[in-house]
């Protein structure tokens, strides 16, 4: 994947208004994000590849305690912009709220959050396209 361009000061560019926790990226009438908006989102988000990991203590080399993780998150919010510290959430099978992950402490946080929140929809679209390709486009 190509390196994303330097992110401009988005407050000055109305075409790059960051998504917020309460709003999804613009979607078409079928509920899918448009190709143009997806490109804008991908360019504004942190370039990949991304990884998931457990927090490891830098000095000890073992897993951080809940207290140390809490301190790390607190410090991340303090050094960054609290408006960019966001949560991706969803619902458990029983309807209860589920925190998927937290993002932020940097200028690309809102876009990273939007991209992560789109992951289930994007994966479903990729699977549908793969099935369409595998069947030669037959309905």
Structure pTM? 0.67
Q: Which residue ranges make up each domain of the chain?
A: 54-139
Number of Cβ atoms within 10 Å of the Cβ of 113: 25
CB burial readout 54-85, b (16+ within 10 A) else e: eeeeeeeeeebeeeeeeeeeeeeeeeeeeebb
* Least confident residue range of 10-14, 46-50, 106-110, 113-117: 10-14
Distance CA(80)–CA(96), nearest Å, equals 30
pLDDT of residue 25: 53
Report the pLDDT averaged over residues 58-72. Answer: 92
More confident residue, 29 or 76: 76
Please tell me the distance from the alpha carbon of residue 110 to that of residue 18, in angstroms, as a whole number.
6
- Is the per-residue pLDDT at 32 higher than 70? no
| pLDDT, position 86 | 85
Residue 21: predicted pLDDT: 40
Length in residues, the chain: 139
* Pairwise CA distance, residues 87 & 5, whole Å: 25
């Amino acid at each position: 994947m190509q390196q994303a361009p330097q992110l401009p000061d988005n407050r000055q560019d109305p075409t790059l208004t960051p998504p917020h926790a309460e709003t999804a990226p613009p979607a078409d009438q079928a509920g899918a994000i448009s190709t143009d908006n997806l490109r804008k989102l991908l360019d504004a988000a942190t370039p990949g590849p991304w990884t998931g990991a457990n927090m490891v203590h830098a000095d000890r080399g073992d897993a951080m305690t809940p207290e140390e993780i809490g301190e790390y998150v607190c410090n991340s919010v303090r050094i960054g912009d609290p408006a960019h510290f966001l949560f991706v959430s969803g619902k458990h099978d029983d309807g209860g709220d589920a925190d998927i992950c937290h993002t932020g402490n940097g200028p690309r946080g809102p876009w990273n959050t939007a991209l992560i929140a789109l992951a289930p929809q994007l994966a479903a679209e990729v699977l549908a396209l793969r099935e369409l390709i595998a069947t030669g486009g037959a309905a």
